[in-house]
A and B are shown apart, each in its own frame.
Chain A
Amino acid sequence: MENSNTAEYNSIDTDDQPHKTVGQVTVDNPRIICRGVNVYYDEKHAIHDVTIDIGSNEVIAMIGPSGCGKSTFLRCLNRMNDTIASCKVSGDILIDDRNIYDKNMDVVLLRARVGMVFQKPNPFPKSIYENVAFGPRIHGLANNKAELDEIIHTSLEKAGLFKEVKDRLDQPGTALSGGQQQRLCIARAIAVDPEVILMDEPCSALDPIATAIIEQLIDELREQYTIVIVTHSMQQAARVSQRTAYFHLGKLIEVGPTEQIFTNPQHKLTEDYITGRFG
């Protein structure tokens, strides 16, 4: 039985096999529109023809076994894959009707609009204040010190960190606890006034309490931002997201309302993954 399962899972890896995502891929108020996105690392076809809308003010969780392409896809959304020479992206990814892979696209500006938080907190080796001030400075968002202070205050506040650090803004960001560092990174992303925040397993290095704080924060941030979160914790996906997308071997297998995906998924691969039958 196990062998036949393996055969079935591998069979969807073939390129010639047409693949259709199960569930509603479009939404009424999309913030990012992805159509036929393919990603190659040299010869390796890492993402197969992914079509999906990311809705405004929604938290969408990307789940799937290791190597399924969820992080690769996430990194397409703000062109982080540009930094990898062998990586080629095709298809359309539109924000406000504009393809972000356009030649004329200002990538630095794009990454301000589509911010990112990584798996391990990675504050700059600078003070807490400077960590948050860095973005607004390079993007010229503040005209004077008072305006910059204001941005830093509100960003730290939104990231739920201000109270804890207000008396030590000049101390190094790296001296904070893991959970605080991750919230500092979220504050840093928020400081440049993004529209979308990408989170690549933001809690995998944190303890349950710090995780709960970040999850609560994600819930609050949704009012103003669109959040795409890649997570290995299915419970986390279930807790924080409104929609869930399941990736398998580079294909978007199923997408749907989170409560439906976790109670009644339509595709066998989704069912097998979230019930712990493989992977």
Chain B
Amino acid sequence: MSNLDINHHTHKQFNTELKDLHNQVLAMGGLVEQQLADALAALTDGDRTRGDAVNNNDYKVNAMDVTIDEECAQILALRQPAASDLRFIVSVIKTTTDMERIGDEAAKIARMAVQLADQERPKNNYAEIEHLGQKAQQMVRDTLNAFARTDAEAALEIAQKDAKVDREYEAVLRQLITYMMEDPRSIRRVLDVIWAARALERIGDHAKNICEYIIYLVNGKDVRHTHPDEIAHELSKEN
């Protein structure tokens, strides 16, 4: 059940427009989530076909971003939303931008997967990337759930988890640097892996941004560029 109350406007058509917008954002989120899952599978399984498919589908994510922005502009012009309705539109515009970037990062991972597919595979089968990927995936999934439910508390918890993804990325990076030092012939291949790891770290950042928009939507507080612990402190003062 969503906490978002978009069902009680005197203008019924406005309710429909907002509900439709909400559904489209969730659909876009679902697509982005799938793209990320496919890109990671392509990388860890060395599946070139799957990697190509992710790249070929990126345009769908971009198209949804454009469509949703257009609808937001239309609602702003025709309905002049205020208060929570206005915050909803603003967060949708910003959320889809970050979702589109997550889509771009997934496509980047897929490109790396395609390049790596032809090369020798390491013994651990990219376990470190798989692990980092799972964390990023979980973060994206939780973020989309928090958006669907308009759950600011969940959003805050997820935003706090981004630090874990960052730490994991640092650990992966150290490990990959060791590989390169041990075997300079692996540098080219490992650099591609680093790109993929970097993309996953960025995906965590985008998910965190979306969580901040959810908090803005619910509490009317712009918490961007604020440390999650500070956000928690701010929000607890209000309650």
- B1-32 interface (Cβ within 8 A of A): 5, 7-11, 14
A276 touches B87 (CB 8 A): no
Provide the residues of chain B in CB contact with A238, threshold 8 Å. Answer: 82
Provide the residues of chain B in CB contact with A275, threshold 8 Å. Answer: 9, 81-85
Provide the residues of chain B in CB contact with A274, threshold 8 Å. Answer: 82-83
Provide the residues of chain A in CB contact with B5, threshold 8 Å. Answer: 277
State in angstroms the CA–CA spacing of A264 and B88 once bound together: 11
A1 touches B8 (CB 8 A): yes
Provide the residues of chain A in CB contact with B11, threshold 8 Å. Answer: 276
- B176-219 interface (Cβ within 8 A of A): none
A235 touches B8 (CB 8 A): no
Chain B nearest CB, measured from A232 CB (Å): 14
B10 touches A264 (CB 8 A): no
Within 8 Å of chain A (Cβ to Cβ): is B56? no
Contact of A263 among B8, B9, B14, B87 (CB under 8 A): B87
Provide the residues of chain B in CB contact with A1, threshold 8 Å. Answer: 7-8
Within 8 Å of chain B (Cβ to Cβ): is A41? no
Chain B nearest CB, measured from A181 CB (Å): 28
Provide the residues of chain A in CB contact with B148, threshold 8 Å. Answer: none
B84 touches A271 (CB 8 A): yes
Number of interface residues of B (CB under 8 A): 16
Provide the residues of chain A in CB contact with B87, threshold 8 Å. Answer: 263-264
- Residues A278 and B82 in contact in the complex (CB < 8 Å), given A264-B87, A264-B220: no
B84 touches A276 (CB 8 A): no
- B85-108 interface (Cβ within 8 A of A): 85-87
Provide the residues of chain B in CB contact with A276, threshold 8 Å. Answer: 9-11, 14
State in angstroms the CA–CA spacing of A1 and B6 once bound together: 13
Number of interface residues of A (CB under 8 A): 19
Q: Which of B11, B82, B87 has most chain A Cβ within 10 Å?
A: B82
A263 touches B220 (CB 8 A): yes
Q: Which residue of B lies closest to A272 (CB)?
A: B8
Contact of B83 among A5, A235, A264 (CB under 8 A): A264
Within 8 Å of chain A (Cβ to Cβ): is B119? no
Provide the residues of chain A in CB contact with B82, threshold 8 Å. Answer: 234, 238, 262-263, 274-275
State in angstroms the CA–CA spacing of A149 and B11 once bound together: 52
Chain A nearest CB, measured from B93 CB (Å): 15
Within 8 Å of chain B (Cβ to Cβ): is A160? no
Chain B nearest CB, measured from A261 CB (Å): 8
Q: Which residue of A lies closest to B88 (CB)?
A: A275
Contact of A235 among B7, B14, B80, B220 (CB under 8 A): B80
B10 touches A263 (CB 8 A): no
- B61-83 interface (Cβ within 8 A of A): 80-83
Chain B nearest CB, measured from A249 CB (Å): 18
Q: Which residue of A lies closest to B14 (CB)?
A: A276
B10 touches A277 (CB 8 A): yes
Within 8 Å of chain B (Cβ to Cβ): is A279? yes
- B29-59 interface (Cβ within 8 A of A): none
Q: Which of B83, B84, B87 has most chain A Cβ within 10 Å?
A: B83
- B140-159 interface (Cβ within 8 A of A): none
State in angstroms the CA–CA spacing of A274 and B5 once bound together: 14
State in angstroms the CA–CA spacing of A264 and B220 once bound together: 6
A278 touches B10 (CB 8 A): yes
Within 8 Å of chain B (Cβ to Cβ): is A265? yes
Chain B nearest CB, measured from A177 CB (Å): 27
Provide the residues of chain A in CB contact with B83, threshold 8 Å. Answer: 262-265, 270-271, 274-275
Provide the residues of chain B in CB contact with A279, threshold 8 Å. Answer: 10
Q: Which residue of A lies closest to B81 (CB)?
A: A275
A262 touches B8 (CB 8 A): no
Q: Which residue of A lies closest to B8 (CB)?
A: A277
Provide the residues of chain B in CB contact with A272, threshold 8 Å. Answer: 8
B8 touches A5 (CB 8 A): yes
Given contacts A271-B83, A277-B5, could you give 8 more A-B pairs where the C-beta distance is less than 8 Å? A234-B82, A263-B82, A263-B86, A264-B83, A264-B220, A275-B82, A275-B85, A276-B14
12 contacts between A and B (CB under 8 A): A263-B86, A264-B83, A264-B87, A264-B220, A265-B83, A274-B82, A275-B81, A275-B83, A276-B10, A276-B14, A277-B5, A278-B8
A-B pairs with lowest CB-CB distance, top 5: A264-B220, A274-B82, A277-B8, A275-B85, A262-B82
